A and B are shown apart, each in its own frame.
Chain A
Amino acid sequence: MRRVCVVGAGVIGSLYAAHLSRVAEVSVLVRRPEQAAALREGLRVSGKSDFAARVTAASDPAELPEFDLGIVSTKATDLDAAAARLARRFEGATMMTIQNGLGAEEILRAHGSWPVISAVTFMSGVRHDDAHVEYELDTETWLGPYAGSGTTFETVEEVHDLLVASGLRARAFADLRPAQWSKLIFNATVNTVAALTDLPHVSQFAATAEQTDLGRLVRDLMDEGKRVAAAAGVELHEDPWEMNVLAVRRGETQAAEGAYAHVPSMLEDVRSRRRTEVDFITGALVREAGRAGVPVPLHTAMYRLVRAREQA
């Protein structure tokens, strides 16, 4: 597994491309020719790591070299269009999806019969320009075989080893669903609460003293999500509430050191008046709840509020 193609060079894609370029031949596929041109001049990472990477970049998939591993790291809202550009190409490659929420693997597989690796990541950063990304949270990528797509666990372990060798943190799972659902419930809650309150992920998200404290809402939303997971037969890898408390505590430590509190991506989207990923995150959870017959009035309310916020 010496050749990697990263599809979509936002924050997450750029972090993968830059790090992996230290241990593999990396190409990057982007939508805009200007970004491809900028990336060919070098991809810079600052923050948690600080280096410049050499990558091949193209805005036309026909110009891409062959690769063994494709990391599809567009936003969930752009995934379908990106996957369509890969259709009938790179048939020997294994593809890895990294989108927030649920359903990315199915969208990708509608365009080709690649073996697929499911992944979630907790890394985060800030995009400074087309070819410069600041690495903020150097947390793990979790990956596992997407059932029914012909991916073996050995392939997953190979990708895991490659990520670790490149300086990123990773963990391989035989079944990713418990981790994917933990993150889904965490994201469906923290992202929508942040998007609607205009608050970064700060200590109020864990405050539970009063009935109407924000932390109570966060916990209630997570409890709803946990009921859906249980009904869907998923045993969660981590408790989303504990993930929330830990993340808030880490944020407080960083704030004390003068760093910014983490701005969840859905809040960034709302602030920049972009379409959010709410359909893939909360929308996916609400659809799963419907399938499992579990009422989720609070997530339904959050979904409607964020959709309305997008339209305002």
Chain B
Amino acid sequence: MRICVVGCGAVGSLFAANLASLDDVEVWAYDLWDEHVAAINEHGLQLSGAGEVVGRVRATSDAAEVPACDFGIVATKSMHTSSAVAAVAHAFEGGAVCSVQNGAGNEELVAEHVREVIRGTTFPAGHLADPGHVVWDTKGDTHIGPFEPSPAPIDKVRVLADACTRAGMPTVALEDARGAQWRKLIFNAASNAIGALTGLSHGRVAEPPTRELAWAVMAEGGAVADAQGIVLDTSPEDLFDYAARKDVAYDHKPSMLQDIQAGRETEIDFLNGAIVAFGERNGVDAPLNRTLTALVQGLERR
């Protein structure tokens, strides 16, 4: 089996390096960062932290080099989904492509270039330490399922889930993976946007004066999920409180806050912006998410 990870940042590297440990899987990585690509090809893709792995991965920044693959795993930042998948789509004419990105709206973009699409949500996290080296910060589950408008067959979804699980990335294949995706989306949208606007860590966002706001923002997301017939697998509010524990992620700086502080573009359009857009399509107004979207977009353009 051949799998290409598209976008080999922290999350992409966790999939790529772990999958490369399997004898029956050949792993490719497509990424535009030349030093990272060179380091991976020279020394292997190294993980440390929650797991010590060195994966033999074929990395390239030239999409034309990627051969035909059985699966793609898209792990770019959401604003790069379209360009990355468009460049490498030729490799997936007979394959299925799974997004493991943040937020909602990525699968729609993948489906503009690929026929068989898999919806995915992943919790493992890490950060890039050096070219070719990613620190694995937290382990966690991944949920994947056919993307309804342009689905991969469920059998293929199961094959990918099985490979990831065997590789040490526990992955559940579901007929409907929307509940897991929207639970994480609703949680992320509240934590990230409020964190980015206030400068507060996740744990402090969960306290007054922003706690009630976070809960109201999540309630709007829940209403938008409801209107689409999505049943959340567990409660985003419970996840919010769990993550706010001192022994979990109280001091964690939401990634959107890190993006703002580094002057980078954020994933706001795929988080709060996606809740607004899916709400609009389904006749549900989400004024607080619209407010947060407008404010974060303003902050990006300052």
Q: Which residues of A contact B (CB under 8 A)?
A: 193, 196-199, 204, 211-214, 216-217, 220, 297-298, 300-305, 307-309, 311-312
Contacts and interface: CB of A to CB of B under 8 A. Distances in A.
A308 B210 contact: yes
Given A196-B295, A197-B295, A305 B276 contact: no
Contacts of B293: 212
Contact of B209 (A199, A214, A307): A307
A301 to B, nearest CB: 5
Contacts of B273: 212
A193 B209 contact: no
B interface majority secondary structure: helix
Contact of A199 (B198, B200, B205, B302): B302
Interface in B39-80: none
B218 to A, nearest CB: 13
Contact of A309 (B199, B213, B280, B291): B199
A199 B213 contact: no
Interface residues of B, number: 27
Contacts of B25: none
B294 interface: yes
Given A197-B299, A214-B297, A220 B200 contact: no
B301 interface: yes
Contacts, number: 82
A212 B287 CA distance: 10
Interface of B: 194, 197-200, 204-205, 209-210, 212-213, 216, 273, 276, 280, 287-288, 290-291, 293-295, 297-299, 301-302
A298 B200 contact: no
Q: Which of B194, B212, B295 has the most CB of A within 10 A?
A: B295
Contact of B213 (A220, A301, A312): A301
A298 B209 contact: no
A211 B280 contact: yes
Contacts of A204: 298, 301
Contacts of A220: 287, 291
Contacts of A297: 216, 287-288
19 contacts: A193-B295, A199-B298, A199-B301, A199-B302, A204-B298, A204-B301, A213-B294, A214-B297, A214-B298, A216-B290, A301-B213, A304-B210, A305-B210, A308-B209, A308-B210, A309-B198, A311-B198, A311-B204, A312-B199
B197 A217 contact: no
Q: Which of A216, A217, A298, A308 has the most CB of B within 10 A?
A: A308
Given A217-B295, A304-B210, 7 more contacts: A199-B301, A216-B290, A217-B294, A220-B287, A303-B209, A304-B213, A305-B197
B276 to A, nearest CB: 6
Lowest 5 A-B CB distances belong to which pairs? A197-B298, A312-B199, A308-B198, A217-B294, A198-B302
A196 B205 CA distance: 15
Contacts of B298: 193, 196-199, 204, 214
A304 B213 CA distance: 7
A199 B301 CA distance: 8
Given A198-B299, A204-B298, A204-B301, A312 B291 contact: no
